[in-house]
A and B are shown apart, each in its own frame.
Chain A
Amino acid sequence: MSYAERRAKFNQKFDEVFASILGTITGFITGTGGLMRFGARSIGLIFAKPFRWDEIISHMEFVGNKSVVIICLSGVFTGLALAYQIYLGFKLVNMTALVGPTVGLGVLRELGPVLTGLIVSARAGGAMAARLGTMRVTEQIDALEVMGVDPIQYLVAPRIIATVLVMPLLCGVFDFVAMAGCWMICIGLFGIDEAAFWDRTTQWLRPYHLYEGLFKAALFGLFFSVICTERGYKTKGGAEGVGNATNQGVVTSMVMIIVLDFFVTNLINVFYKFEKFFQS
């Protein structure tokens, strides 16, 4: 193979790789733009008439009530495991009385909202994407349009508002049972003095730690409900399309929750600094 031919082949490969990268970037930007437009329209329609209270209540029941058992199970074992690990570390420096507040801070500010977000996005978010995807491929969404009913206002907006309302409640349940698990293992197994446990815990934990977690949970709920409903709403093809939409919705939601958590944590800390600055 001559130099010119090798050069041409290299150029062709280079072009292909470049085009592929460009395509991925363009696809990402287009997809994100489409998602944002869909989310903005859906949120706008939450306040449009007619208000769909029945739908909102029914979705709150589905997202919230039906997730309580799984949230309780996950929460209690998260509290147990976290307390165990922290106890093992703190025992080395004779600070076992601080296990309670350390677990409390971790659960209230991080693990509560993040794990609640991940669990509920997998359970309810996946179901939303699958449901809307099935409705799309069986022409039920087209039927709504033809009947003069806005499918986003009827199907998407109630799911989003229901998720945003229910997520802080679920996060609160998670926080409570995780702390209960922590308390059980600390008092029952490790023999930490109960008075010291509560004294330290109430000394270190503040209401705003709880609010921070609840706010994050609502935000994660907003994001995963928009992502999953958008995936489902824009499903193409038959059963395979529904499967892909569900898969994409859940995976994207989970990644987004973890990425978003980092940025939101930073933003909240910046907010605290500003608050302290203005108070001083």
Chain B
Amino acid sequence: MTEEKPNPSSEKAGEFAGQYAIELTDVKKSFDGKDFVLNGINLKIPAGQITVIIGYSGTGKSVLLKHILGLLTPTSGSIKVQGKELTEMSEHERTQLRQEYGMLFQYSALFDDMSALENVMFPLKEHRRKMKKSEMMEIAKARLKDAGLDPKHFNKFPSEMSGGMRKRVGLARALALDPEILIYDEPTTGLDPVLTEMVDNLIVSTHNLRKGSTSIVVSHDLYAAFRIADHVAMLDNGRVLLYGTPDDFLKSEIDLVKRFVAKGVRKELTPKNGESAEEPVRSTE
């Protein structure tokens, strides 16, 4: 199934000038000492851009994400977050580092005993203990407005909200601590096309609003991913099969990539008359 190709990420990495938000070097992970879920991941995620990680189910996307978040430690290899070596950090240091991250979960993962406003205030209560409650509330309201939630829904509980509203609250909560790195875990899975587009636009607008922040989107919704991505990394068998721009993927001759793209993107991006594909929507200005 997998084609034996040199890992393109390391070759591509040199093309991107500027600092890397996250650098993974030969990251391997095995839970049983025999089978490797991550089998030598080399990936450099440029700062200030949107990188989408795609791949079939079971290719190690979630495990990779947990490594980036410091929730799992690799069996071998190096993970640098903003230049700091994650694998050498203590649990306390990792907990501190996680304040640099904001994460939007697949199903938003809102605390169901808290209102929208309380959900967004929660990270502030935990990490800005000296901040006044009124200040926290102002920040939370601002974040919810940034995420596009109508103020009349601020005091609603997650069970009273629609899927789209929950996504907005989840995003507002992720933004609460003003993180450097925003991570989206399968943000459009299970949503209808209208909501999918809304979430995609939300990701792009949030990224554009927060100059310099880095966004990482884990997805298998290729069409949506290509609309928002500056760079795309495709995982297969615990390795980066291809890393590049959406155009690189559309032009790729790697069999697995071609099949993957044909299923999800090419049909939708390529006009019926066979002319070249539309330029995907980009977040960078």
Once bound together, how far apart are the Cα atoms of A145 and B94, in whole Å? Answer: 10
B103 touches A146 (CB 8 A): yes
Contacts A139-B105, A139-B107, A142-B105; A150 near B112 (Cβ below 8 A) = no
Chain A to chain B: the 8 pairs with minimum beta-carbon distance, closest first: A148-B98, A139-B109, A143-B109, A148-B95, A146-B103, A139-B105, A147-B123, A148-B99
* A residues whose Cβ falls under 8 Å from a Cβ of B: 50, 134, 138-140, 142-143, 145-150
A-contact 0/1 string along B73-109, CB 8 Å cutoff: 0000000000000000000000111110101011101
Once bound together, how far apart are the Cα atoms of A134 and B106, in whole Å? Answer: 16
Closest A residue to B111 by beta carbon equals A140
Q: Between A and B, how many residue pairs show CB distances below 8 Å? A: 42
Additional A-B contact list (20), CB under 8 Å, known A140-B110, A143-B109, A147-B123: A50-B129, A138-B107, A138-B112, A139-B107, A139-B109, A140-B111, A140-B112, A142-B105, A142-B109, A143-B103, A143-B111, A145-B71, A145-B98, A146-B71, A146-B98, A147-B99, A147-B127, A148-B95, A148-B99, A150-B95
Is B122 among interface residues, defined by CB-CB distance under 8 A? yes
For window 199-248 of B, CB contacts with A under 8 Å fall at none
- Shortest B31–chain A CB gap in Å is 15
Is B27 among interface residues, defined by CB-CB distance under 8 A? no
Closest B residue to A141 by beta carbon equals B109
Query: Which residues of chain B are within 8 angstroms of A149 by Cβ–Cβ distance?
Result: 126
Closest A residue to B127 by beta carbon equals A148
B109 touches A138 (CB 8 A): yes
Query: Which residues of chain A are within 8 angstroms of B127 by Cβ–Cβ distance?
Result: 147-148
B126 touches A146 (CB 8 A): no
Query: Which residues of chain A are within 8 angstroms of B54 by Cβ–Cβ distance?
Result: none
Once bound together, how far apart are the Cα atoms of A142 and B103, in whole Å? Answer: 10
Query: Which residues of chain A are within 8 angstroms of B122 by Cβ–Cβ distance?
Result: 147
- Shortest B42–chain A CB gap in Å is 24
Once bound together, how far apart are the Cα atoms of A41 and B98, in whole Å? Answer: 21
For window 112-136 of B, CB contacts with A under 8 Å fall at 112, 122-123, 126-127, 129
